[in-house]
Amino acid sequence: MDRETSTVQVWALKGFLDELKRINNTMEDRRFVFILGAGASIQSGVKGAAPLAREWMQMLFHRVVSPETDFDSWLKLNPLEIDNWQPDNLAGHYPEIFARCFSGDHEAGFAELEKAIEAGSPSFGYAVLAWIMTKTSHNMVITTNFDNLVADSLYIYGRRSPHVIGHETLAGYLKPLARRPMVAKIHRDLFTDPINDPDGTGQLKKPWEDALRNIFKFYTPIFIGYGGNDGSLMNFLSDLSSRDISGRPFWCYYEPGGQPNGDIAALMQKHNGVLIPTPEWDQLMLDIGNLWGYKHDDQLKDLERYTEDMKQTLQEQVLNTSREGGEEIKTKLLPKPKKEQDKSWLDWSLEAEGKWTVEDKVEHYKLAIEALPESAELHFNYAYWLFDIGHAESAKQHYKIAIDIDPDDFAAQSNYASVLESSGETEKAEIHYKKALALRPGDVNATYNYANMLSGLERYEEAEIYYKKALALKPDDTKAMNNYACLLIDLKRLEEAESLVNRALDLSPEHPVFVETKSELLFAQEKYQDALNTIERALELDPGSQQAKDIKAQIEQEIKRGKKGASRRKK
C-alpha cells in the first residue's frame, strides 16, 4: 500500500457489509446513495473509459503515424502533449483523448458513445440494484455515466419509472427523501449534449453543486465503479467539509484492478471515509442486496408473473381492438394460417372475430374449445360474446367453466357476477362480485357495478359505501356520481344529490342520462317547471329515451294536478 492510502481506513468486505446491515437495521432515517462510475457498467457489456480511450488513441495513431510504427511505443511519447501523461492509465485522460479524437465533429464522437452504450444491457447487479431502489429507502443513484442501465433495470425488474435528471438545468428537482427512485446524471444524458470534454468534466455545474450539497445532508455515499478521474465530482467532494456528508462515505474499488489513486485516498481521509477492496459489480451488489433482504428466487417469480401479466394484457388489447374495429381492422389482426394444434387461444379468438354470422361464430368457438378445452380465455371470450348477443344462459355456463379452470381470473368473476345479476340471481352475483373485488380491490368498474346492484336491492347503506369507494378510486367517474346521486334522491338527501349531479354535468354536460337525473332531482325538490324544462332538454339529446318520456309524463301530470308526490321510476 502506498503512502497516501496507508493513513486512510481500509476495511475488508465483510466488515463493510456488516456496517451496512447495522446502519440499515438501527438507523431508519439514514439512507445510502450509490455513486456509480463506468466500472459499474462493464459487466453489462458497456465499454469502460480505458478501452474506449485506447480505441480512440488507436484512431489518432493511424491518422498521423506510418503503419510500421509501434503503437505502444508511440503512446509513451505523450503524442497529445497532455499534462501528467500516463500511457498505462488512459482512462485518466479520457476527456482530453475524446476531445482530440473528435475535434471538429463532436456528433461523430457522440455516435461512438451511443454505439458503445447500446451494446449493453443490465447485468445481474442492476437487477439487484432495482430491487434495492424499489424495496428499500436507498432509492437514489448519482452517476457520471451516460448509459440508461439504472433506468432500464428499474423498468424491467422493479416495474417503476424512475425520475431521471439528465441535465443541470433540472438539478433543482433532485430532492432528498423522495418516494420515487431517482437517477442524477451529473455529466448529462447521452441525448442531452453529454459532457465529455476536459472543461466540462473539470468543473461541476453550479446547479448540481447546490443539489448534491443538499442530498449529502441526508444520504451516505457508496462509490462503486468510479475511478475519480474527472475533476468535477472529485473537486466538489474535496471542497465539502466532513460535516457536509451524512455518515462516513464508503469507496468500493475493484480489488484485482489495484489500489485507488492518491486523490481518492486523500478524499476518504478528509471525510473519515473507508476504502473497501471488492469483487466485481454483480457479486458486490448481490452481497449488498442479500444483507437487506434480496432473494433472487422471489425476484424471478415476480418477474415471471409480471411478464405473463404484460403478455396477457397485450393479448387482451389486441382482441379488444379486433372486437371494436371494423372489417378492415379485423382482417389486419387475423393470425397467420396455422395447423389447429398450433393455434393459441388468441388465434382462435381473433379468427372468431372474423366470422360474420352467429352460426359461423358458434361453430368456430365449438372447434376452438374442442382443441383447447382447458383454455379459460377461450371460455371467457365465448361467454362474453354470447352475453353480448343475448344468450345469457349459455354465457353463464362458459363463465362458470372459465372460473372453474382459473378461479383467480378477475374479469371472469366480475363478468359472471354481472350476468347473474341480469338474470335476477343476485345472491349468487354477490358472491362473485365479492370474489372479484377480493382479487382486485382497486377496480373501479367492479366496485361501481356492485354498488349499483346493492342500490337496486335497496341496501342503500352498503351501496353508499361502494359508491364512495368507486369515487375514491376514480374521482371523475361521472356514472358513479350520477348513480350515487340517484341513491341520495331516494334517501331524500337532496343537497348532497345536487352536488353530485352538478359535478357529473360539469364534466359531461350533454349526457342525456345525467340531465334526466337532474330533472328527477328538481322534481323531488318540487321545482316542477324547472324539472319539465330539464327533461325536455334530455329528450332533445336522446329523443328515443323511454325513461325520459315517462319522467316527462309524471312531471306534466303533477303540474296538471297541482299536487306533490308523483312516483318517480328509479333508474
543-564 pLDDT, tens digit per residue, is: 999 999 999 999 998 888 875 4
Mean pLDDT of 466-487: 94
Grid cell, residue 524, equals 323531488
For the chain, the straight-line distance linking the first and the last C-alpha, in angstroms and rounded, comes to 84
Share of the chain above pLDDT 90, in %: 65
Mean pLDDT of 499-508: 95
Enumerate domains of the chain plus CATH numbers: 3-46+120-294 (3.40.50.1220), 49-117 (no CATH), 295-373 (no CATH)
pLDDT at 277: 97
The answer to whether the beta carbons of residues 474 and 480 sit under 8 Å apart is yes
**3-class secondary-structure state, position 266:** helix
Half-sphere exposure of 267 (CA within 13 A, CB side): 24
pLDDT at 38: 87
Reported as a pLDDT band with limits 50, 70 and 90, residue 389 is very high
pLDDT tens digits, 291-348: 999 999 999 999 998 898 889 889 989 999 998 888 889 889 988 888 888 899 999 9
Reported as a pLDDT band with limits 50, 70 and 90, residue 287 is very high
- % helix, strand, coil for the chain, step of 5: 65, 5, 30
pLDDT of 31 strictly over 60 = yes
pLDDT at 1: 42
pLDDT of 4 strictly over 70 = no
CA distance 381 to 120: 41
pTM over 0.85: no
pLDDT at 569: 39
pLDDT tens digits, 258-285: 888 889 999 999 999 999 999 999 999 9
- Axis-axis angle for helices 512-524, 494-507 (nearest 10): 160
Long-range (24+ apart) CB contacts under 8 A made by 442-447 are: 442/473, 443/410, 443/414, 443/473, 444/470, 444/473, 444/474, 444/477, 444/480, 445/414, 446/410, 446/414, 446/417, 447/473
pLDDT of 456 strictly over 80 = yes
Q: Which residues lie across from 67 on neighbouring strands?
A: none
CA distance 121 to 230: 25
The one-letter code for the residue type at 260 is P
pLDDT at 6: 55
pLDDT at 200: 67
Residue with cell 486512510: 8
pLDDT of 5 strictly over 90 = no
The one-letter code for the residue type at 154 is L
Q: Pick the more confident residue, 368 or 105.
A: 368
The answer to whether the beta carbons of residues 162 and 150 sit under 8 Å apart is yes
* Cβ contacts of 355 within 8 Å, gap of 6 or more: 361, 364
The answer to whether the beta carbons of residues 278 and 255 sit under 8 Å apart is yes
pLDDT at 401: 97
pLDDT of 227 strictly over 90 = no
**3-class secondary-structure state, position 483:** helix
| Residues in the chain, total | 571
CA distance 69 to 362: 80
pLDDT at 67: 61
Task: Of 195, 229, 199, give the one whose Cα is nearest residue 106.
Answer: 195
Share of the chain above pLDDT 70, in %: 96
SS3 annotation, 130-195: HHHHHHCCCCEEEECCCCCHHHHHHHHHHCCCCEEECCHHHHHHCCCCCCCCEEEECCCCCCCCCC
